[in-house]
């Protein structure tokens, strides 16, 4: 008892320690009420504080777990985004590769990637791998057609996918560019050539016509394969020289149809 006759204030043990991290107020003094012993008052308030802190801890734990799950999902998504889909292009001398039906699926996958990155484009499979039964270099050729005024945006979108600038062969100008790359499919890596062509350019019809004529005429397709074998038998291996050597045959086909 104090000298003025009032009851002593009972300080609940441990309040200061509990304030670390959860309670920021100073130690709480609990005064026993008449008819309610100080010891019981202390026990009741400690229990109340424990319940409150327990609830806070539980709520904070749930929030922490939710945050951790969200971070885990973000990390998984980041890993998926970092997975390469377009691989470096490998330069090599021209060879004669038998027709591979898998090229059709590869072209479809590459076209979906490009159209996803540049929704304004239309992508078609062209060249020998687009002609069933036609052997050649084994490179999957695509033409990505863009509307007028979209060349720069198309270049940027395709470059962002991982396609690369040409280093060898017939180098196309940036006003009518070609990009190269590779894609992994069924345990095999396929090389890609992507030709960026204005939708209004007559070139797109020329490329389509050559593809469609050889698709419809097996004899002409076989003649094209024979021409390629002859060029290689003459010792032509440089990609640029090989392209020029085929030009006469291609021009004759386009001119007749």
The domain of 21 spans 10-79
What pLDDT was estimated at residue 152?
A: 98
CA atoms of 91 and 171, how far apart (whole Å): 13
Q: Where are the alpha helices (DSSP H) in 145-238?
A: 151-161, 203-216, 218-233
Flag whether 75 is in a domain: yes
Q: Do 238 and 144 belong together in one domain?
A: yes
Residues 71 and 25 in one domain: yes
Q: Are residues 14 and 129 in the same domain?
A: no
- Distance between start and end Cα atoms, the chain: 116
Q: Is residue 41 part of a domain?
A: yes
Tokens for 163?
């396609």
CATH of the domain at 225: 3.30.460.10
Please tell me whether residues 206 and 237 are part of one structural domain: yes
Helices (H) and strands (E) in the chain, counts: 7, 7
178 shares its domain with 110: yes
Classify the C-alpha dihedral 232-238-239-240 as positive or negative.
negative
Please check whether residue 66 lies inside any domain of the structure.
yes
* Structural domain includes residue 4: no
Q: What is the pTM of this model?
A: 0.67
Rounded distance, CA 54 to CA 155, Å? Answer: 58
Of all helices (H) and strands (E), which one includes residue 187? Answer: none
CA nearest neighbour of 84 among 194, 189, 196: 189
Same domain, yes or no: 144 and 247: yes
Provide the strand spans (E) within the chain.
10-11, 29-30, 122-126, 140-146, 164-165, 178-185, 188-198
Model pLDDT, residue 59: 54
Query: Do residues 71 and 106 share a domain?
Result: no
Rg (CA), the chain: 37
Tokens of 63: 């929030």
Q: Quick one: 53 and 171 in the same domain? A: no
pLDDT in tens, the chain (257 residues): 444 444 443 343 333 333 333 333 444 343 444 444 444 444 445 455 454 545 555 555 565 565 655 565 555 444 434 456 899 999 877 788 999 999 999 999 999 999 999 999 999 999 999 999 999 999 999 999 999 999 999 999 999 999 999 998 889 999 999 999 999 999 999 999 999 999 999 999 999 999 999 999 999 999 999 999 999 999 998 888 988 899 999 999 988 65
**107 and 234, same structural domain?**
yes
Domain match, 117 and 232 both: yes
């Amino acid at each position: 008892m104090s000298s003025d006759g009032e009851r002593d204030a009972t300080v609940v043990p441990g309040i200061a320690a509990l304030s670390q991290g959860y309670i920021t107020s100073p130690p709480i003094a609990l005064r026993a009420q008449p008819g309610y012993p100080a010891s019981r008052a202390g026990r009741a308030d400690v229990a109340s504080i424990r319940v409150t802190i327990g609830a806070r801890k539980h709520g904070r734990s749930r929030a922490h777990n939710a945050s951790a799950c969200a971070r885990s999902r973000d990390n998984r998504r980041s890993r998926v985004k970092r997975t390469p889909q377009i691989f470096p292009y490998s330069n090599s001398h021209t060879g004669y590769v038998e027709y591979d039906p898998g090229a059709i699926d590869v072209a479809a996958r590459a076209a979906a990637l490009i159209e996803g990155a540049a929704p304004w484009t239309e992508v078609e499979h062209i060249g020998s791998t687009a002609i069933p039964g036609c052997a050649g270099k084994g490179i999957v050729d695509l033409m990505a057609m863009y509307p007028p005024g979209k060349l720069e945006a198309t270049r940027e979108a395709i470059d962002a996918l991982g396609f690369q600038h040409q280093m060898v062969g017939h180098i196309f100008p940036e006003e009518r560019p070609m990009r190269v790359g590779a894609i992994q499919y069924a345990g095999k890596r396929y090389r890609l050539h992507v030709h960026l062509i204005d939708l209004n350019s007559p070139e797109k019809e020329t490329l389509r016509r050559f593809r469609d004529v050889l698709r419809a005429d097996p004899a002409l397709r076989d003649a094209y394969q024979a021409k390629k074998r002859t060029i290689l038998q003459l010792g032509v291996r440089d990609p640029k020289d090989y392209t020029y050597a085929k030009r006469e045959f291609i021009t004759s086909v386009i001119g007749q149809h």
